[in-house]
Amino acid sequence: MKQNNCYLWLFAIALLTIFAGCQKDLLQEEDSLQDNFQAKDGSFEPYERNYVTFEEFSAHLQGYEVFEYYVEKFEGIDSESYISAISKNRILKLENDSITAYTLNVTTPDVEGDSFTNIVFIEQDDELIRYLMQYTPTIEWKNAVIEGGRYPGYEGAVSFIDDSGEAFSSLENYPTNPISTMSRACHSVFYTENIPCCGSISCCPCTDGNGVDILVIEIVCSGGGGGGDGGDDYDNPWSGLFPGTGGGNGGGAGPGFNQQFPTEPMEPEDFMMLGYYIEGLGGEVDWSYQVILDPEFVNNECLYDVYEDLGKAPTFNNYLQNFDGDMSVANLRFSVGVHPKYPTANAVTFAPVNYLIKVMFNPNMLNRPSLDVARTFIHEMIHAEIYRKLLSLADQGAIPWSKQFIESMRNDYPGLHDYYMRYYFNMPYGIPSGDPQHEVMAQHYRGIIIDVLMEYDNSYSNNIYEALSWVGLMGSGPVNQSTGLPPNPTVAWENLSQQERLSIINVYNDFKANNPNCQ
């Protein structure tokens, strides 16, 4: 019995030795891949970045079987397939001397949270292959995109998926972990490349001089097994993608495989794709007025009820109609969230990104009467309308905040031109900095705010509507209780007498104290 126990111990030690050896080999393989990743970082051919039209994209790839397989997805919504549609409105092209890659957004039925899916077509050596990439970004990355209108180095989870939505490789936390296992023989190595601005909107749509970050992915496979026949079963993610990994018709050892491709995580920002995406998450879309309501907005009883009631107010409805799909260059999106830089703001309206203007309402600032929330709606709608007017002159999906562009507004919108030259560019010299939109709204738009509030609820006295029209237009910073002035007052508010300012503040405070909160 003791001898048998001895044999059992020896057998256990042998197993542990083998297991440790396997673990060591795996760790060494990971280290080798990490070294390879670090060695290649920055040493590859630089990529050029452009957006192209669907006509240019299809003309380039027409004739490839892989492309022809997906053509019907560009024509409309296919509810029978996992890929319901592929966007034609925003196509990113990244290329160098060896590789041309196109990234497009796709609509799928299983979107959850902040996840989104892209399809990437890679052309190299007269061959075309495709990958489906599913992203679940961190909230920090999402906020950076929302705030800056550009894509910083990606952070979050990434999965390679097939045409049925099944993941065959997942990376849980990039950039902390840049390597994922795709099969026993294949790994994907991720790294970020920065493309600097090169003086053209089409090359690099940034205005801050910092360039734009793209994601470069390298598929690394060791040799062994058949080479594969490429096949034409495009529902199989392995068909023709990874030679030298076994499973093909050839025999013997394969040559191994190393392919690099660039992409850029793209959320569904064009209106049609984003609309279907939001509807899939439980939101609503007004297709006639081109307005998207995020699910968080729809599910917020206070915001949704005020929005619905404001639709019956003719003046507010006229502002909504300015975003009608037949007559507007811009689309509108209402969402809910807290801006990291302005956590106490009632709402924030973002400058347009790809023709979309987003208004984000702070859910923590709804402990006030419904009429005051309605005031926030029209206040933000005026911001959106100003952005829409500027966008109508930009001839692109974003506003180029240059002095030359602002100068070009002189004939079309002389009033806005004047305020932006004064408070954005401080011209004539000596004019203090300010917020051009709040300055013009305080001086010229308060009558519109009063009209909307009276149409929404006409049961209050005129001095309450007058006081509400000033909220948000007094200036920036905490208001001094003795003078009624914030540190950076608007000119219109500063021009009121101290008695008028303090009276307006008192009326507003009494109104809030004596009326029930919206939420």
Q: 360-413, pLDDT tens digit by residue? A: 999 999 999 999 999 999 999 999 999 999 988 987 778 888 888 888 999 999
Instruction: Give the H/E segment covering residue 105.
Output: strand 100-107
- In the chain, what are the domain boundaries? 26-263, 282-400+435-513
pTM of the model: 0.59
Task: Express each pLDDT in 173-226 by its tens digit.
Answer: 888 888 888 776 788 888 888 777 544 443 444 444 556 778 888 888 775 543
Task: Quote the longest CA-to-CA distance of the chain.
Answer: 103
Query: 3-state DSSP call for residue 213?
Result: strand
Number of Cβ within 10 Å of residue 429's Cβ equals 6
| Residue in 292, 288, 279 with CA at minimum distance from that of residue 335 | 292
If you search the block for the tokens 């206040």, which residue do you land on? 379
Distance between CA atoms of residues 418 and 181, nearest Å: 58
Q: What is the pLDDT of residue 167?
A: 83
- Low-confidence stretches of the chain (pLDDT < 70) are 1-44, 75-80, 110-113, 143-152, 184, 197-211, 223-257, 268-270, 272-274, 276-277, 280, 324-328, 426-433
- Residues contacting residue 304 through CB under 8 Å, at least 6 positions apart: 293, 297, 298
Terminal CA-to-CA distance of the chain, rounded, Å?
77
Q: Which two tokens stand for residue 261?
A: 């491709």
* Nearest CA-CA partner of 151 in 195, 187, 189: 195
Q: What is the predicted pLDDT for the residue at 6?
A: 43
Torsion of CA 210, 212, 213, 219, to 10 degrees: -140
Q: How far apart are CA 71 and CA 211, in angstroms?
A: 33
Q: Which residues pair with 106 in a beta bridge?
A: 86, 117
The pLDDT assigned to 85 comes to 77
- How far apart are the C-alpha atoms of 226 and 250, rounded to whole Å? 4
pLDDT at residue number 280: 67
pLDDT of residue 226: 39
Per-residue pLDDT of 414-436, as tens digits, reads 989 888 888 877 665 555 567 89
pLDDT tens by residue, 153-166: 788 999 888 877 88
